[in-house]
Amino acid sequence: MAAYEQKIYIPEFTFVGAINQPDFGELLLTFYPKEWTIELKSLKKYKDSFRDAPMSYERLANVMFDDLIQVYEPIRLRLMMRLRPRGGISSCLTIDSDWSIRGGKEEFRDWTSNTDRYGFQTHTAAKIQ
């Protein structure tokens, strides 16, 4: 496969939170495929399958991250989940396969880059020399 950086923005994401109330948010994926890119229609159906699943957003982020890693075996996957405010508080979770705590090699140096309006880095990650 040719070298790609696939960025996916999902502006509407809903699920049943841990207290059985609907939660709303958005997902941002940065994906460096090894063999396959993520097919968007399948991703839409997959994210919709969580609409009625009661779980914390931390657990949901981990489940989605682990599923995408298992299916696609990417070179890198970065998942950002932004939750809309509830009780005046919003949250953003980020998981990255490049982090050493997740078994990564910390090869990419893009943690402090500028971001566009969707929260994605505005440049392609560069390998550490």
Give me the tens of pLDDT residue by residue for the chain, a chain 129 residues long. Answer: 557 889 999 999 999 887 888 888 999 999 999 989 999 999 999 999 999 989 888 999 999 999 999 999 999 899 999 988 877 888 888 888 876 666 666 676 555 455 555 555 444 444 433
Count of structural domains within the chain: 1
* Domain membership flag for residue 89: yes
* Domain membership flag for residue 122: no
pLDDT the model gives residue 47: 95
Rounded to whole angstroms, how far apart are CA atoms 78 and 89? Answer: 23
* Domain membership flag for residue 56: yes
Distances (CA, A) of 64 to 7, 40, 71, 111: 16, 15, 11, 21
Rounded to whole angstroms, how far apart are CA atoms 74 and 31? Answer: 7
* Domain membership flag for residue 115: no
* Domain membership flag for residue 125: no
* Domain membership flag for residue 124: no
pLDDT the model gives residue 70: 95
Whichever domain contains 62, its CATH number is: 3.30.1130.10
Distances (CA, A) of 103 to 18, 64, 76, 100: 28, 17, 11, 5
pLDDT the model gives residue 128: 38
Q: Which domain holds residue 52?
A: 6-102
Please state whether the predicted TM-score (pTM) of the whole model is above 0.85. Answer: no
- The answer to whether residues 76 and 97 touch, using CB atoms and an 8 Å cutoff, is yes
